[in-house]
Structure 1
C-alpha cells in the first residue's frame, strides 16, 4: 500500500466521505482504510475502533453544525434578542442538516440511539451557551432567575422538541418555534421591567 501521512483530521475527513457515500448503516472502518489506502491497523493507532471513530466524526459534525451559535453569542444585542436568535438557530440547524447533509444527519440519529456520550456533551455545550446569555440578561436587568444554570437547562429541553425529525415537515413549524421561544423569554423576563 502507498505511504500516506495520516493524522486525525485526514481520517475524520475520509470517514465523513465514506459515511456520505455509503450511508451510516453500510459504511465501515474498512471502507475508510481503503479510501486512505492504508491498513486497518493504521487507523487503530488513532482511534480504538469504529465506535471511537464514528463518535469523533459526529462530535466534529455537531461542533460545525453549531458554529453559528458562537457568532450569535458575540452579537451586540440585548440578551432577549440574542437568546431568540440562539434558540431559533438550535432548532433550525438540525433540520437544515437533514436536508443538506442527510447521511451525516442519519449518522447522528444512529449515534443518538447507541452512544450518548457525544450527544450529552453537545447538549451540555448548548445549555452553557443559553446560560451565558441568561447571565448577560440578568446583568442587563432583562432576565430574572435565581438559578441561571437550571433556567438554561429548562429552556434547552423546552425547545428540544424542534430537533426531532418528526417536526421538520410541520407547516406551522416556524410559527411554533417562535411561539415557544417568545413564551420562554417572557418567562425569564424581570417582572419589574
Structure 2
C-alpha cells in the first residue's frame, strides 16, 4: 500500500506538514498517506504528535522537535496500527489542534469511511478530540463507501488531495464549506 501513488501521497503529506505550526498539538492517524506527513514533520520544532501508527511513531522517534505520544491498544499487524478500547481511552484527556486523517472512502452523502470497525471507532474518537479535521486522501478514494463510517463531511474542515479530483467532488466539497487543497506531485 505504501508504494501505491507514492509521489502523489508524498506531495499530499508535504502540503499537510505546511499546515503544522510550532506549538501545535496534533493527531496523525495511521496510514500510508499520513506516513508521508510524518516524514515531512521531522524538521519541525515544538510540535506534539499523538499517533496510533507504529510506522509513524518510528518515523518521528528521533525527530528532536517533536514530542511523541502513542495511543496504545491492540496491534493490527497488517497496518501496524493500534486500535481498540485502550487506544480510544487514551484520547479522553487530550485536546488537539488538528487531526490528520487517512480514509478508505470519501462520499459526498455518506461521509468518511473505512473497512475496519475498530479503526472507524478510534477515528471517530479522534474526530471528537480535535478542533480541526484535515483529511489526506488521493483522488482514488472519492466516491468509495466502505462499511464503517468515521465521520460526516460537515465535521471536516480541509481535504488535501491530488489534481485527479473529479469536478463533481471538488464542487461538492467546496459547496459544503470544506477547504480543498490540491497537491501536485513532483514532475
TM-score range, shorter chain: under 0.3
Could you tell me the TM-score, scaled by structure 2's length? Answer: 0.25
Higher strand fraction (1 or 2): 2
Could you tell me the TM-score, scaled by structure 1's length? Answer: 0.24
